[in-house]
Every structure is written in C-alpha cells, then in structure tokens.
Amino acid sequence: MQGLCARWSCCLLTAWLVLAGRAAADIYVYRDSRGVLHFSNAPAEPKYRFYRSEKDSWRAVRWTSWGRRYADPNRYKAYEAIVRDAAERHQVDVALVKAVIRAESDFVPDAVSPKGALGLMQLMPSTARRHGVIRVFDPRENVDGGVRHLRYLLDRFSGNLRLALAAYNAGEAAVERHGGIPPYPETWEYVARVLNFRDRYLRDRYAQRN
C-alpha cells in the first residue's frame, strides 16, 4: 500500500511540475488606468490576462480560455463601418485596409505583438503618437491612425504599394536605405500576404456586385 501511495505521489508531483513549467512559459498582461501595459510570467492578481506563450507569437491568445471570443469569425465584419469611414476619408482602398488589418492582427482589437505593436493595425507607439492616436486600443482611433499612416507611406513612395507595405512592416528608413523592399524574409512574406488578402477582398467585392 505504501509503495502504491509513493507511486501516486510521484505521479502527482511530476504532473504538478509539468503544469508549473507550462505556466512559467506563459506571459500575462494588464493595462492600468493610465494606459501603461504591465507584463508578468507569474501574475499574482486577477486583473492580469493571458498575453502569449513565450514560445509562440501573440496569436496564441486565440487558443486560451480568455481568447476564445476571438475565435468567432464574426469579428472579421465587426469593424466594417469603421474601416470604410477611415478608408474613404484618407482615400485608401477599403480592400487594402482590411488586408493590412487581417495580416497585422487578424482583427483582434487588443492584440499586442512581441515588438510592442498595438491594436487592430498594430501601431508602434511612435507611429501612434505621430498620427495623434491617444487610445491606441480603441478600434476607431487605431484604424484611423493606421490608415492615415498608410496614406502617408503611399504618398511618400509615389503610390508604389509594395514599397508602402514594406515600409509599414519594416519602417520607411529601411526601404530608403535598401532602395526597395528590404532583404528581410519577414517583410517579403508580409507584403505577399497583404496583397493576397487584398486580392481576396477585391474578388469578394466583385462577386457581391455581380
């Protein structure tokens, strides 16, 4: 009997250590009243929410209990009016704006990337400040700032969409320094992904009209 209890105790201890190891690999976040983000891998307060696994990208949030609400495909249409309004005001094609949001955050409004990009259009804090975005997780402000930035980049690169998208991902200085799309695999993949999403949205729009 003692041997059986010892074996059960060993199994329980092993399971606890495995679970503890998994928990230690997760990062949690909460935003205080001033808008400052706080991160912890050992949260001691319930206001912390799952942010991401240390081994995965922020997209892991969709598979947590907190993030299951983002598995709802209806979120892809939830910001239609906001996107259309910003696109029309800044004269950027709606399909392009949707494609950027899909590639950047997958339409998760409070997404935070490992590099610190925020919200639907994954604005870096410096980009948000440049375009006057104060409440960066507010969908309307975030999309307006992101579309305003897209308009700026399109103008800066004389309407060259590929260069504008590369600059959105890698920064305008990198595009200018390399005289084109920077030789970063991530940036090349990003440009191709956005254009692929844009083409899908254009096809859907054409199908709806015919």
Taking only the tens place, the pLDDT of each residue in 15-49 is 433 333 444 446 666 666 655 556 565 666 677 77
The tens digit of pLDDT for each residue in 77-136 reads 999 999 999 999 999 999 999 999 999 999 989 888 888 899 999 999 999 999 999 999
Domain end residue (candidates: 71, 95, 120): 71
Q: Which CATH number covers residue 152?
A: 1.10.530.10
Residue whose C-alpha is closest to residue 193's, from 52, 98, 87, 63: 98
Instruction: Mark whether 56 and 81 lie in a shared domain.
Output: no
Instruction: Mark whether 77 and 140 lie in a shared domain.
Output: yes
Domain end residue (candidates: 71, 89, 105): 71
The domain total for the chain is 2
Q: Which structural domain range is residue 28 located in?
A: 2-71
**pLDDT higher at 146 or 71:** 146
* Confidence at residue 204, expressed as pLDDT on a 0 to 100 scale: 87
Looking at the DSSP assignment, which residues form a beta bridge with residue 52?
27
Question: What percentage of residues in the chain have a pLDDT greater than 90?
Answer: 57
pTM: predicted TM-score of the whole model, two decimal places: 0.69
Give the catalytic positions in this structure.
104
Non-local (6+) Cβ contacts of 60 within 8 A are: 52, 53, 67
Q: For 50, what's the count of Cα atoms within 13 Å in the CB-facing half-sphere?
A: 21
Instruction: Mark whether 88 and 190 lie in a shared domain.
Output: yes
